[in-house]
């Protein structure tokens, strides 16, 4: 079977020695300290009238972590659906998801950026209406098909498909994939650019820093929003090949040229050593010091909150 590789030739996956140091020796020696989780991301009750609105207004509802309900061109779609109390049987959810599955509107498509448990939940896919197609990176389709008899489309980087008026492109990311012990990088990973009407939104999925942010902005000029991960970075020496930190997410946003920065991948699951809310505090600090001064904005969204992207105003 094919093993996929990262677009950045500088990428060096953590070897056994690094994993042993991170998981064992640094813990025993006290060099690695896992912070108490602290408070999760704030949550509000969803505005279900706005969630189910069929207008063409582009909207994002944060379900939590990396899960979003999007609406563009009068069509609704789900990104990286996870609703459960735990991911990977280990990491518990702090707080409640912003929406439950029965509160979702009629969906045109589900998008999955990669196969990690905090981005792809079997029950979330299995329990959706069987006619809803799922778009996944190359190599992941067979697994999703086994879970439910539904249409599944695989994409390579830069491939585009049109579904129900939405143009969906898989774009590169610097990350990796694994669902089981022996399937490392047997399926691809990436982000998505979703185009509906004359609007475009970039969902980065999981990614570390790489040179592709400028290329994504060049190929998709006029991005309305960039939905970027900001958490999962501590300890830095171990996590820098996996995830952006908050400052890097801000820099990536600048390179994409998007109008709005929507931070995610924080506040629900303590996957790494930093407290749940530290990433957003660091991003706010970066924004005050180095954020763009050209009218572009950062949207601080609560779990369950729907943001109308045309105005950047939060509607609760």
Q: For residue 315, what pLDDT is reported?
A: 42
Q: Which residues lie across from 163 on neighbouring strands?
A: 166
Measured CA to CA, the distance from residue 182 to residue 60 in angstroms comes to 36
pLDDT value at residue 34? 80
SS3 for 80-92 is: CCCCCCEECCCEE
Phi (first) and psi of residue 215, to 5 degrees: -65, -40
pTM given for the model: 0.94
**Arithmetic mean of pLDDT, 251-255:** 97
pLDDT of residue 1: 59
What per-residue confidence (pLDDT) applies to 150? 82
Residue-wise pLDDT for 168-211, tens only, equals 999 999 998 988 888 888 999 999 999 998 899 999 999 999 99
The confidence score (pLDDT) of residue 316 equals 35
Report the percent of the chain where pLDDT is more than 90.
75
Residues in the chain: 316
Check residues 160 and 36 and name the one with the higher pLDDT: 160
Which of 38-42, 49-53, 120-124, 183-187 is predicted least confidently?
Answer: 183-187
Q: Span 148-154, mean pLDDT?
A: 88
Helix (H) or strand (E) holding 216: helix 212-219
**Can you tell me the mean pLDDT for 44-73?**
97
Q: Give the three-state DSSP class for 217.
A: helix
Q: Which CATH class is domain 37-315?
A: alpha beta
Q: Where are the domains of the chain?
A: 37-315
What single-letter DSSP state applies at residue 197?
A: T
Q: Residue 180's pLDDT is what? A: 81
* Angle subtended by helix axes 246-256 and 212-219, to nearest 10: 30
**Does the pLDDT at position 282 exceed 70?**
yes
Beta pairing, strands 191-196 & 199-203: antiparallel
Residue 84 pLDDT more than 70?
yes
């Amino acid at each position: 079977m094919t093993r996929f590789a990262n677009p950045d030739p500088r990428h060096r996956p953590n070897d056994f020695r690094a994993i042993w140091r991170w998981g064992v020796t640094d813990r025993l020696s006290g060099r690695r300290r896992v912070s108490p989780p602290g408070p999760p991301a704030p949550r509000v009750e969803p505005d279900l009238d706005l969630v189910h609105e069929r207008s063409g207004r582009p909207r994002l509802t944060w379900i939590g972590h990396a899960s979003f309900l999007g609406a563009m061109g009068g069509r609704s779609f789900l990104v990286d659906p996870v609703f459960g109390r735990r991911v990977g049987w280990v990491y518990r959810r702090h707080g409640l998801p912003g929406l439950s599955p029965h509160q979702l509107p009629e969906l045109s498509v589900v998008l999955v950026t990669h196969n990690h448990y905090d981005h792809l939940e079997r029950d979330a896919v299995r329990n959706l209406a069987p006619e809803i197609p799922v778009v996944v990176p190359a190599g992941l389709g067979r697994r999703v098909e086994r879970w439910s008899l539904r249409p599944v489309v695989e994409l390579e980087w830069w491939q585009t498909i049109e579904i129900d008026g939405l143009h969906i492109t898989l774009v590169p990311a610097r990350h990796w994939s694994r669902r089981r012990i022996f399937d490392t990088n047997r399926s691809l990973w990436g982000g998505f650019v979703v185009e509906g009407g004359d609007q475009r939104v970039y969902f980065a999925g999981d990614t570390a820093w790489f040179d592709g942010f400028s290329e994504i902005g060049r190929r998709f000029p006029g991005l309305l929003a960039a939905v970027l991960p900001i958490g999962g970075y501590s300890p830095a020496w171990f996590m820098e090949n996996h995830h952006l930190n908050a400052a890097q997410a801000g820099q990536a946003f600048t390179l994409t040229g998007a109008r709005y920065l929507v931070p995610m991948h924080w506040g629900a699951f303590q996957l790494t050593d930093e407290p749940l809310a530290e990433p957003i505090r660091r991003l706010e600090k970066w924004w005050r010091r180095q954020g763009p001064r050209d009218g572009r904005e950062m949207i601080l969204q609560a779990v369950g909150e729907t943001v109308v992207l045309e105005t950047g105003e939060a509607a609760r």
